[in-house]
Structure 1
Amino acid sequence: MARQYREKWYLHGLEAPTIPVRFRPVSTRLVDHWAGVGGAVSTADSASQPLVGRFDEIVEAYRSVPSGRLVVLGEPGSGKTSLTLHFALGWLERGAPGEPVPVIFPLASWDPSTTSLRDWMCTRLVREYARLKAPAEHGKNLAEALVDAGQVLPVLDGFDELAGGMHRLALRALSATSTPLVLTSRPSAYVAAVEEVNVLTTAAVVELGNLTPGDVRDYLTRVRPSDLRRASGWQSVLEELRSRPESRASTNLATTLRTPLMVATAGAAYSRTDSDLAELLNTGRFATPGALEEHILSKFARVAYQRQPADRGRHRRWTLERAEYWLGYLASHLDQLGTRDLAWWHVGATMSLLSRSFVIGVLAALNFAVVAAAGSVIADTASTSLGLSTLLVRGLMTGLLYGLAAGLLFGLAYRFGSGWWATRRSGVPARAPGKTRRARATKRARAIGVFSFVLAVTAGPLDALTLATLSRLSSSNDPGIADSPTRHLRAARIRAAFYMVAWVLVIGPAVVWLERALDGGAHGLEVGLVPGLEAAFGAGVGFGLSRTAWGQWVALARIWLPLTGQLPWTVISFLEDARRRGVLRQVGPVYRFRHVHYQDYLARMHRARS
């Protein structure tokens, strides 16, 4: 675990020196009484003991909380994720043998309405560390044994990132336990949950404060530049900040460098580029703190893509210009959707519905045209003695005719479905409680059951039996909330393949039966075999493109958007690389930009370029 945390530390660009972020107590209305936290009863109003310190003192502060339950609040860019890594590493490096091991759990994938905290942690441990699935005593696996024995210290990161409506349930579930833990959150989400429920029982609460000018000077003077001559440049800038704090240039710079994000980006950017540090004090160029902040954020990608990923594996080398353009497209895409969640199944959703229908219709037409043309050539070769050129012309005309019909059919199917079916047949993480998911699955099974009865009357009992069996399997084939985008995409691909095969098994025999019925039984089974295979394969792929989220992902994110230059051809590889570099972070089955300010900057720049 220590090795893993060190790699993440490097990934986040948190090499020494560390930024001197401070934590302090919060309002008493957010904290349990100190007697409830486990401290001695005081005659004074004892909401909490004063927990004040810096990042490097967080372990000592946590140990001073008798209950071992600590909540850390902080605004975006204030350093919450950095603090969890600092805590985990500090605990492991200074802890005694036999103490619990801190494990950072991203809370976004927890559904407190269906799963207890203990069961969810055990599931996460088994998924992340396969060896913990090995059996232990009393019928438990190793993960369950470790959690039940108190050998895992949960560091629950991102309370604010729980699904909508889950904060209240999660706070109640956490209050119902006495498990030692560290919980991080943005203040707004935690305050709202406390006002609805109550404070987290027996927990102390601290918040991360803004950096002072002294903190900024202390950090930037210790940053080791690639060119030692740049150290004197920082000295002159910081001297201006110290000697003339009321000047417009100093006010702009001090206002901008209030959060660890901005200070770390400025320190890294100006230590690795040839930019003139004096420009930070140029009020003619940067008249407001917002303009200066935007200028510093423009260097964030340059810093990230100069740094090698922590795992040092084989990675694509993305140029800075292309990477920043693609990130800008994604940021603009999220801005148009009004969300911070970069979900793979929504990539391309900002294209007009007509454009998406056209793309899916064209791909379905191409697929069906190729299949129909090949089937025509094969069938005519076996039944006629026509020349090759004639066979090819007939095959081409047949493929063109069937392709146009299929493209129109599946394009309209997507157009009037408006993506409804796609997002619900793909294993997209349901935000509703488990009972609602089961109800939806039951409705699906009933609908397909009715269709099976109609099919039994029109096409034959074999198709009906096939579809009824598949509908029964599909009702229990809900992957639920996946814990990573790649796993979720894999589950959606399997699910899409499941339904595509279902349509192959239904359409194929139906066409064979229809062809034999029209033939009057004069010939054998081979009369309908080729048309059956054509229709089955073409309909299966067409259904996958128009009626599953994975099909829409392939059509838009893997073909159309890369073809038009909006995204790279290997989208997931690019997103994973951006995550390893610290530009994106993983929140359950979706990605998010590590810093909302950087996302907003990229969206503005992309709109300006467009």
Structure 2
Amino acid sequence: MRLSGRSWWVAGGVLLAVAGGTWRLWVEGTRGAEIANVLALPVSLLGLAIAAIGLWAALVSRRDQVGAAVADLAEELSREEAAALAQLLGETGDPQPANVGFDRLALVRWRNDGGDRQGNLAQIGAYYGRLDRGRLVVLGRPGSGKTVLAVHLVLDLLRTRPTAPGPKARVPVRLSLPAFDSLLGDDGEQVSDRILKQRLDDWLAAQLVQRGLSRSNAEGAVKQGWILPVLDGLDEMDPDDTPPLRAAAVIRALNATADPVVLTCRRERYDQLLGTASAQAVQDATTVMLEPLSPATVREYLTYLFPDPTHPTRIAAHWRATARALDRATPSPFITALCSPWQLYLCRTAFADPSQGDPHTQLAELAPDELNTELLRRLIPAAVANHTGPRGERHDADSVKRWLITLARTSPQSGSSSDILLHQLGTAVGSRAPRYIIGLALAVLVTLPLLLLIGLPYLEAVGFPPDTPQAWYGLFSSVLLVGGVGLRASASAPSLNRIDLSTRRRRRDLVSQVAFWIVGGLVVGLMIWLAFGLAFGPRFGFKFGLTVGIGAGLAVGLAVGLALRPSYIRAPSDLARQGITHDTVVTVAVGLPTGLAAGLVIDLATGFAAGLALGPAIGLALRPSPWPRYFVAVLLGRINRTLPPRPARFLDWAYTAGLVRLSGIGIQFRHREFETWLVNQSTDDALSARPRTPCT
């Protein structure tokens, strides 16, 4: 905190007064010492008061800094959630979802948090504001609109958020719970509720860092109660055929305190949690159940979406038969389907264009299963017709269907639905082929510079086979290096990383990692000195061990210190962009010290060239990257026509078109029903015809 000019004058005056008083007491001698002893107590108390005031001022300044960062976060979240709502509804401008209603459930074994007996999406912000503690659980059937309601709640709270600090100034942050994988280990280890709550808070702070806050501001925002977690997808944390261990752990963490929280879950999974021996449910929370839309609400919504151009209060001509059926509200599979938010989305997307005809005429006579299948069949052609790529390109519907079938059938299981993990796309063409190809390619990349720059000149000088211990040492080391790089690069579980040096803590971590590995490299260098000193002599062994140890330690420290696992993306291609940037920086950072060490051992020109050539391969071997395999998988997928030419860009388009959604760093299909339909499609239908034009 800087002092003003007037403050400097006051401080100078106080300093002169203290100096004059001290000189006066010195002149007084013994009497002055007695006076000083008497004055010591009030002066000490005054100093303590000044220190306390300074500490209080620092805390106030720190709180103000966190509050300013949170205010900036609120503005960013308003734009982000508005875009998310438009993407979920498949609309632009100011999208309005159907006004789904909900009823409060009477879970009498757990205290509720107040609130009215009924409510609806249009009033969700006001409904939440009337809760006593701000703890709300939203349950619903698949496709009932839980995520849309959560987004709408976030937007309502951000829109009415006061600027003054207080409970109502909390910033709602919507988070995808399937991305939270640190509550329990694979063995379902049991830890205390306090530790679970701390892990949840740490994850929340990490998510805020991903959204632009510094680490200190993120942790301060969580500890000071500035954040309202809106946790979406509790039912997706565990596969459906396994016990909900991770979901139960989340509820235990939430029950460790009575802090405000919003949680969404499928009703079936929540009932399963209630039926466990420990009967896990969120305590001190109001639990509401989303209800199907009423026919009147559906008619009102369709009139809003498709007004008659000549009479804005009337519905468009190709929806009038549907409107009359909704007015009659006669029970039928078609009316029941329209009362489901998910199937209503499918129907209005498929028949948005008047050229598609009247939906009632084409769908009203179908049985429920046939109706659902027909709506799903029309989704991809409608998405292709309504959405172009970022450069104006338009995909072919048959190609899109074939690519999505491939992704649906090969995506690894994560949670209760399949996540399309972009960095694991190699499973689409066989998990082994990309691994072995990349392992062999990196081994060749290591072999060529060794052979051309070092091996051939050496063999020309000494001949083959080697006839000295030194030559055998060199040959054995080269073979060991090549084999190690190849095996490491073909590891079955590559690491997914990004670079983040935006915070002081991350920069400190990098420095500490580099220092630690340099010390480790010196220890290894000492061992090399002892080993190579026997064959090459102590002098060469010392030089070789010292340079290789320091170079290797620096390279490993940079590779480890620069790596940070991503946990949040705004678009599917962000994951690839972050990973490729990390790999590029790491290969350069590893290649430079490797080249320098090799240059000092051999000669500067030859060694540095060899080190720079070896650096990328060694860097990728130290931190096995999934992205070289990704490029191999894309190449193989293009050959057999099972993958798009640019999967990351294609998934960006599919996300914009509403076919997929984001879940942490994973990509999920828009709805589990859509994913199941893709998996069950005939392979012959999907792959028999070569696409006319994959992308025009």
8 Å Cα contact 1:449/1:471 also seen in 2? no
TM-superposition CA deviations, 1:285-311 (whole Å, max 9, x none): x5x3223212212333444455569xx
TM-superposition CA deviations, 1:374-420 (whole Å, max 9, x none): 869x989xx9xxxxxxxxxxxxxxxxxxxxx99x96997379x5614
Query: Structure 1 residues 114, 454: CA separation in 2 closer, same or farther (over 3 Å shift)?
Result: farther
Instruction: Report the alpha carbon displacement of residue 203 of structure 1 after superposing the two structures with TM.
Output: 0.8
Match of 1:413 among 487, 490, 510: 487
8 Å Cα contact 2:520/2:553 also seen in 1? no
What is residue 186 of structure 1 aligned with on the other side?
266
User: Unmatched 5+ residue regions in structure 1?
Assistant: 40-48, 135-139, 384-404, 429-440, 517-524
Determine if the alignment matches structure 1 residue 153 to structure 2 residue 228.
yes
Determine if the alignment matches structure 1 residue 106 to structure 2 residue 194.
no
TM-superposition CA deviations, 1:496-534 (whole Å, max 9, x none): 864786588669967996xx7xxxxxxxx37xx648845
Match of 1:205 among 270, 273, 287: 287
Question: Which is greater in Rg?
Answer: 2
What is residue 673 of structure 2 aligned with on the other side?
597
Amino acid at match of 2:139: L
What is residue 329 of structure 1 aligned with on the other side?
406
TM-superposition CA deviations, 1:247-302 (whole Å, max 9, x none): xxx33x2343342111022123212252232553364xx5x322321221233344
Instruction: Report the alpha carbon displacement of residue 175 of structure 1 after superposing the two structures with TM.
Output: 1.7
8 Å Cα contact 2:100/2:293 also seen in 1? yes
Amino acid at match of 1:81: T
SS at match of 2:352: helix
Amino acid at match of 1:419: S
What is residue 24 of structure 1 aligned with on the other side?
103
Q: TM-score, normalised by structure 1?
A: 0.70
Instruction: Report the alpha carbon displacement of residue 223 of structure 1 after superposing the two structures with TM.
Output: 3.1
8 Å Cα contact 1:426/1:548 also seen in 2? no
Say what the alpha-carbon RMSD is for the aligned residues.
4.9
Query: Structure 1 residues 569, 609: CA separation in 2 closer, same or farther (over 3 Å shift)?
Result: closer
Match of 2:353 among 238, 250, 272: 272
Query: Structure 1 residues 242, 476: CA separation in 2 closer, same or farther (over 3 Å shift)?
Result: same
Q: How does 1:445-464 map to 2 (within 5 A)?
A: 457=531, 460-461=544-545, 462-464=547-549
Instruction: Report the alpha carbon displacement of residue 19 of structure 1 after superposing the two structures with TM.
Output: 1.4
SS at match of 1:317: coil
Instruction: Report the alpha carbon displacement of residue 91 of structure 1 after superposing the two structures with TM.
Output: 3.3
Instruction: Report the alpha carbon displacement of residue 579 of structure 1 after superposing the two structures with TM.
Output: 2.7
Q: How does 1:194-273 map to 2 (within 5 A)?
A: 194=274, 195=276, 196=278, 198-224=280-306, 231-240=316-325, 245=330, 250-251=332-333, 253-273=334-354
What is residue 118 of structure 2 aligned with on the other side?
52
SS at match of 2:289: strand
What is residue 291 of structure 1 aligned with on the other side?
370
Instruction: Report the alpha carbon displacement of residue 214 of structure 1 after superposing the two structures with TM.
Output: 4.4
Instruction: Report the alpha carbon displacement of residue 78 of structure 1 after superposing the two structures with TM.
Output: 1.4
Q: 1: CA distance between counterparts of 2:629 and 2:282?
A: 41
Counting aligned pairs with the same residue, the percent is 20
Q: 1: CA distance between counterparts of 2:150 and 2:553?
A: 50
Q: With CA pairs under 8 Å and 6+ residues apart, which has the higher RCO, 1 or 2?
A: 1
TM-superposition CA deviations, 1:574-599 (whole Å, max 9, x none): 32343344332222221212222222
Q: 2: CA distance between counterparts of 1:565 and 1:226?
A: 43
What is residue 587 of structure 1 aligned with on the other side?
663
Q: 2: CA distance between counterparts of 1:546 and 1:328?
A: 35
Q: 1: CA distance between counterparts of 2:600 and 2:119?
A: 76
What is residue 42 of structure 2 aligned with on the other side?
none
Instruction: Report the alpha carbon displacement of residue 474 of structure 1 after superposing the two structures with TM.
Output: 6.1
Q: 2: CA distance between counterparts of 1:606 and 1:542?
A: 44
What is residue 67 of structure 2 aligned with on the other side?
none
SS at match of 2:321: helix
Amino acid at match of 1:463: V
Q: TM-score, normalised by structure 2?
A: 0.62
Instruction: Report the alpha carbon displacement of residue 471 of structure 1 after superposing the two structures with TM.
Output: 5.0
Determine if the alignment matches structure 1 residue 352 to structure 2 residue 424.
no
SS at match of 1:299: helix
What is residue 208 of structure 2 aligned with on the other side?
125
SS at match of 1:166: helix
Q: 2: CA distance between counterparts of 1:281 and 1:53?
A: 32
TM-superposition CA deviations, 1:324-367 (whole Å, max 9, x none): 44333322222789951111221112433553355436754885
Query: Structure 1 residues 281, 499: CA separation in 2 closer, same or farther (over 3 Å shift)?
Result: closer
8 Å Cα contact 1:216/1:257 also seen in 2? yes
Paired positions, count:
528
Q: How does 1:567-582 map to 2 (within 5 A)?
A: 567-582=643-658
8 Å Cα contact 2:423/2:576 also seen in 1? no
Q: 1: CA distance between counterparts of 2:208 and 2:433?
A: 43
Q: 2: CA distance between counterparts of 1:116 and 1:64?
A: 29
Q: 2: CA distance between counterparts of 1:575 and 1:185?
A: 26
8 Å Cα contact 1:100/1:153 also seen in 2? no
Determine if the alignment matches structure 1 residue 544 to structure 2 residue 613.
no
Amino acid at match of 1:156: L
Instruction: Report the alpha carbon displacement of residue 72 of structure 1 after superposing the two structures with TM.
Output: 0.7
8 Å Cα contact 1:51/1:61 also seen in 2? no
8 Å Cα contact 2:634/2:645 also seen in 1? yes
Query: Structure 1 residues 302, 51: CA separation in 2 closer, same or farther (over 3 Å shift)?
Result: farther
TM-superposition CA deviations, 1:209-262 (whole Å, max 9, x none): 23344443443344316888983443324545665946xxx33x2343342111
Amino acid at match of 2:118: V
